[in-house]
Chains A and B, each alone.
Chain A
């Protein structure tokens, strides 16, 4: 068994990214779709940190990108949950197919 390197961590983040994409495509519940987006953002964060550690170890830029992505993800989750609560008040449902009043 060889040493854990960059490739191992990239494989983990790839699997996590496509799990998030699968959840985003299949589920129609808005909160679950939000969770899938969080998984995708986290896999990107893992990639940034792994490249920073194993390739560009003389810089800290990947770490700062991860910090800012985390901050923006927090803001995005807060706004998304406010929108979901507002939609639930109007439609009594958080299924994305029920929010179709702009469709016709």
Chain B
């Protein structure tokens, strides 16, 4: 068992364990912290697969942005110290049955299927290659989705302000 294998199993234990604890924790603040561990584990998995830029993006956007946003919203809304209501037993039972069967089916399909490697050439996922293809206007460039996503982010930002603004009552 090589060191790389051991690192992969540690990362997968962090990802799956963090996710499982995040959806089953009784305190909402703990759920956010377990989700944080799971997302850091996913960033580690990207680093493991040599996608350094993607790992950095994962840490910046998810850990630095979304988790902080979720923790702010927890502090603004819920009582973060108290336990949440336990879900009904029948709901737990049927949800667990549905997900376990679907999960078993998907894992069985993955195990049955043999994947064929299509290409022999390797493009290094370096920042240089990513930037050149992202901003290229040729056939395989991604400049149009890039611009569309920037408009989407602007629209989401304005929409958040409009939805969450507190209108003071007159007089």
Contact = CB atoms under 8 A, between A and B. Distances in A.
Nearest to B53: A63
Interface residues of B, number: 83
Contacts of B171: none
B42 to A, nearest CB: 5
Interface residues of A, number: 69
Given A45-B42, A89-B166, A94-B77, A18 B49 contact: no
A18 B98 CA distance: 10
A41 B46 CA distance: 15
Given A60-B125, A78-B69, A85-B76, A23 B23 contact: yes
Contacts of A60: 123, 125, 129-130, 133
A20 B8 contact: no
Contacts of B159: 79, 82
B70 A46 contact: no
Interface in B27-83: 28, 31-32, 35, 38-39, 42, 45-46, 49-51, 53-54, 57-58, 61-62, 65-66, 69-70, 72-74, 76-78
A23 B72 CA distance: 21
